[in-house]
Every structure is written in structure tokens, then in C-alpha cells.
Amino acid sequence: MFERTDDKITNSQAVVFLTNTVLGAGILTMPSGITQAMKTPDSWLTILIGGIVVMLAIFLMVKLCQQFPGQTVFQYAARIVGKLPAGLLSLMLIVYFLTIAGFEIRSLAEVTLFFLLEGTPMWAVVMPFIWVGTYLVTGGINAIARVYQVVFPITIFVLLVSFGVSFRLFDIDNLRPVLGNGIVPVLRGLKSSILVFTGCEVVMTLVAFMQYPKQAVKTMLGGIAIPFSLYLLTLVFVIGGLSIDSVITSAWPTIDLIRSFEVTGFFVERLEFPLMVVWLMQMFCNFCSFFFQSSLGISQLFKLSYPAVIFGLVPVIFLAAMIPKTLNDLFALGDTIGTTGLWLFGLLPVLLSIVWLIRTKGLKQHV
């Protein structure tokens, strides 16, 4: 049972947990999505502005969580808006987290089939990943965080080496002219840039598990700064190496960049294979984060056994993963999730904070 949030994690584990939750399939597809929305090479400016907006939202989420030590949003929402509205709100969050879990495991399977196991039935790839995820999530947040601490440095190392070696293809002219079409395309791409930070919402439960919640602002901002920097770096290198015309027409532009060269004499001449393996692990981490969030939410909302909830959700996640029929359907689902997340977590912390401020000020005046 995890109602008491007594399974604590350190600050460094919280940083890695948030980073691994946000870093997912976005690294592979994000340059294409943002550039298609903008049609200019100024995508890096959009991600810069989007990252700042997300940091402000996280700051607000953390400040709200710090008012209720040891409680997740599924628990403290009832103290702010009452049981019925909080219950409906929590159900929306749970459905949202479950949908993302299904989306991530399907994205993982699509990448595996496309690059590694062509011709394998979809269900045969989806099910093993779901069961391994189930095993990890039953161990609780501490077990998940320890796995993330192993995956995280490997991911950073492989990604930075890949970008470093691809520098030979980099052409600064592909990023010019800066603001050639004005600020309007940058603002048009802002929605797409904020969507790649889907996953930062876990802050509203993560703070409750921290050993030192008073340091949560610095910790959570540090946790989002890492994917923010990596997304910015990815956009600069991918567009600089491929040009916006190639990026717009590619489904997996980051992979295409790494596939466009060989490293003679290096221990691995084709770097897309280690990158793919690492990113499969990263997407698996992404899936486990949302699987944990949805299981925790149902357990706390309905006072059910946490392990029983996890096993009960396995067929639900499998069905969610199998619903998209094609890759285009999957991308459309990703856009829908992003838009929902934008509204849900753009408004949720703001509304809860406003209601809480009104209630606390009203109580002080009454006293």
C-alpha cells in the first residue's frame, strides 16, 4: 500500500525520475513535429520559450505540493475543492496517465518493429514490455528510481557521443536566417514545443515522495533543465545537420541524422544501433513512470491494494497500446495527449492554487 507515501527517494533520484519521465520518444520525433508546425529554422527559439513556460508551471506545481507535505495531488485535491470535484479531477488524471502509458509502450513497439524486429506481430512486442514494466512498478517508486539511475547516464553518454560525432555534418547556415519570417512562426510552434515536455506533470505526486521536500523547487527545476537542454541540443544538431526540408519529411529525424554517417575505426561504426537500444530503454522508463502514476492514483483514490491495482491495469494498458491502427494514428494520439496535457496541467495547478489562496485568506480573515 502506498497511501502514506512512505517509500522515500533522494533529491538525485527525484531529478533522474523527472528527467527519465519527460525524455521519451520525443527525442526521435520532436524535430519533425516542431519544424512542420513552423516551416522555419527557428525551432530552437520555440523550444527555448516553451522550456521557460514549463519551468514556471513546475515552480507553481511544487509550491502547491509543499503546502501538503507527504500528500500527492490525488490526496490533497479533496482538501482544496471538496471530495466530488477532486474525485472527478483525479479520474481525469488517471485516464490521462493510462493513455500516455499505452501510447509510450506502443511507440516503443513501433520503433522496435521498424528498426529491429520487422515482421513480428505487434502484440508479441507489446506484452513482454508490459510484463517487465509490471514487475518493476510493483517494487514502488524507490525501485523505479534505482533503475532510472542506471539508465540515465548511459542515455546521456550515447546521445552526446552521437551528436559529437555528427558535428562533421553540421552546417550553421541550416539554422539561418534567425527570425527570417518574424516572431509569428515561433509563436505558432510554441504549442508543439510545450507538448514535448509531457510528463512534467508527475511533479504533483513526486514531491510527496521526496526525503527533503523543502528542496523540491531546486530539485524539480534541475530535473526539467536536463531534458530541456537535451531537446534544445537535439534541435540544433538535427536541423543543422539535415536542413529543415529533410527534417519536415522525416518520421524519425534524429535517427536519420545518426544513420547518415559511419565512424571508421570506432568500436561501433553505425551509431544508430546503440542509440536505438538506449532509447528503447528510455521509452520503457517513460512507460513505467506513467504506469506507476495511474496505479498510485487508483490505489489512493479508491483505497485499494497497490499491487492488485497494477495487475488489474495490465489488460487496460494492453488495449490502450493496441488501439492505434497505423503510425499516423499513433502520432495523432500523441498530439491529442499533448493538447489534453497542455490544458489539464496548464489549468490544474493554477486553479488549485487560486482556490487554495482564496480559502486560506478567507480563513485568516475569519479568524
Per-residue pLDDT tens for 179-208? 777 788 787 777 777 778 877 888 988 999
How confident is the model at residue 238, as a pLDDT?
85
Per-residue pLDDT tens for 121-161? 888 888 999 999 999 999 889 999 999 999 999 988 888 88
- Higher-confidence residue of 118 and 225: namely 225
How confident is the model at residue 263, as a pLDDT?
58
How confident is the model at residue 6, as a pLDDT?
60
Beta bridge mates, 9? 210
Which DSSP letter does residue 181 get? T
Distance in angstroms (rounded) separating the CA atoms of residues 53 and 196: 12
Beta bridge mates, 210? 9
Domains and CATH numbers, the chain: 11-353 (1.20.1740.10)
Torsion of CA 94, 99, 100, 101, to 10 degrees: 90
Distance in angstroms (rounded) separating the CA atoms of residues 359 and 78: 13
**DSSP-derived secondary structure for 64-129:** HHTTSTT--HHHHHHHHH-HHHHHHHHHHHHHHHHHHHHHHHHHHHHHHHHHT-TT--HHHHHHHH
3-state secondary structure of 1: coil
Per-residue pLDDT tens for 246-303? 778 777 787 777 777 665 555 555 677 777 788 888 888 989 999 999 999 999 988 8
pLDDT for 367 beyond 70:
no
Contact of 226 with 63, CB cutoff 8 Å? no
How confident is the model at residue 325, as a pLDDT?
82
**Sign of the four-CA dihedral 277, 156, 196, 285:** positive
How confident is the model at residue 148, as a pLDDT?
93
Per-residue pLDDT tens for 51-83? 888 888 889 889 888 888 888 888 888 888 888
How confident is the model at residue 4, as a pLDDT?
47
C-alpha cell recorded at residue 134: 509490471
**Chain position carrying cell 514494466:** 133
Torsion of CA 79, 82, 85, 90, to 10 degrees: 30
Neighbours of 346 (CB within 10 A): 14
Characterize 160-177 residue by residue with b for buried, 16 or more Cβ atoms within 10 angstroms of its Cβ, and e for exposed: ebbbeebeeebeeebbee
Contact of 284 with 69, CB cutoff 8 Å? no
Distance in angstroms (rounded) separating the CA atoms of residues 171 and 147: 37
Distance in angstroms (rounded) separating the CA atoms of residues 101 and 88: 20
How confident is the model at residue 204, as a pLDDT?
87
What percent of the chain has a predicted confidence (pLDDT) above 70? 93
Q: Which residues contact 156 (CB under 8 A, 6 or more apart)?
A: 230
C-alpha cell recorded at residue 147: 533503475
Distance in angstroms (rounded) separating the CA atoms of residues 135 and 137: 6
**DSSP-derived secondary structure for 215-271:** GHHHHHHHHHHHHHHHHHHHHHHHHHHH-HHHHHT-SSHHHHHHHT---TTSS-S-T
Per-residue pLDDT tens for 84-129? 888 888 898 899 899 888 888 888 888 788 777 777 788 888 899 9
Task: Average the pLDDT over 26-41 and give the result.
Answer: 77
3-state helix, strand, coil in the chain (%, to 5): 80, 0, 20
Per-residue pLDDT tens for 168-179? 777 787 777 777
C-alpha cell recorded at residue 47: 523550444
Per-residue pLDDT tens for 331-359? 777 777 777 777 776 677 778 888 888 87
How confident is the model at residue 362, as a pLDDT?
56
3-state secondary structure of 212: coil
Distance in angstroms (rounded) separating the CA atoms of residues 153 and 131: 25
How confident is the model at residue 366, as a pLDDT?
45
- Of 206, 221, 207, which Cα lies nearest the Cα of 293? 206
How confident is the model at residue 1, as a pLDDT?
47
CA angle 344–184–247, rounded 5-degree value: 80
Cis ω for the linkage preceding 177 (within 30 of 0): yes
Which DSSP letter does residue 167 get? G
Helix (H) or strand (E) holding 332: helix 327-366
How confident is the model at residue 363, as a pLDDT?
52
How confident is the model at residue 219, as a pLDDT?
93
Which DSSP letter does residue 270 get? -
What percent of the chain has a predicted confidence (pLDDT) above 90? 20
pLDDT for 234 beyond 80:
yes
